[in-house]
Structure 1
Amino acid sequence: MHRSRPTDDAAQRTAERVRDCMLAADAAAHALGMQVSSIGPGCAVVTMAVRADMLNGFGICQGGLVTTLADAAFAYACNSYNVKTVASGFSVDLLAPGREGDVLTARADVVSQSGRTGVYDAEVSNQNGERIAMFRGRSYRLQGKPVVGDAEGAGAP
């Protein structure tokens, strides 16, 4: 996942501005220790270290927190074009447990973006490359609502 695709400089700068703006106000990401390690048009990588306070009664990372990590990567990826975009739904398959001390990485990529709706996939893996979860998000663009600045996104499909 996280396919490499050619990007122009303006679209990359736009994605980075969107990341900076969103991250500054993202209380959930800050509370969970998430970091947006990379972003580009239609893609994002977000990491999170699993802490003791994230474990459920079986001593593994709460599935909702794994989902939150994937949802965050999805949010950054689908907003990277500077068109305010929200989730209209998602599904997640939990494949393996995250454990205390693991560093989980969610890599989100656009699958389809047409008009106001999009589909994005995110894969969550641990520091050993073991797949923890697969996430598919459906997005909805809010017409005429940029994330940063006064105009629609640069290069938005």
Structure 2
Amino acid sequence: MKQAIIKTPLGNTKIVGDENGVSAITVLDEETPISEHIPLELQEATEQLNAYFNGDLKKFQFKINPQGTDFQQRVWKALLEIPFGKTTSYLELSKTLGDVKAIRAVASANSKNPLWIVVPCHRVIGSDGSLTGYAGGLWRKKWLLEHESPSPQQKLF
């Protein structure tokens, strides 16, 4: 597996992958040196992440290869269907997957998403519209939702 560390507005970010696709994108809370060289296998992901943060990209199109259980894969695939600038609730996501009672399992799979931002788990909020748990921290979730808001001058939370 190749890896690279890039700088983003939300902290340094580690990208891991190989010729089969990107398998992990993780925001780091500790200071980590930025990569001087980006491996060829990660260059497209790096360029697209930079374009996303610059406000020039709404849909990622590089090859991904997240590792997880069949259920986690189903949840992550459903997350990919949430459009840029939109949100859904854990309950709605459970309904989409065909089992309203699976809300906790859906939330658990959501929290194990290995592809920060690309598989947009930040677009899942509470049924009452509140910000709820986010592995990267609620302040990052708020930032991402505001970044994707169709009305940038209006604060969502």
TM-score, normalization by structure 2: 0.30
Relative to total residues, which structure has the larger helix share, 1 or 2?
Answer: 2
TM-score, normalization by structure 1: 0.30
Relative to total residues, which structure has the larger strand share, 1 or 2?
Answer: 1
Instruction: Specify which structure has the bigger relative contact order, considering alpha-carbon pairs within 8 angstroms and separated by 6 or more residues.
Output: 1
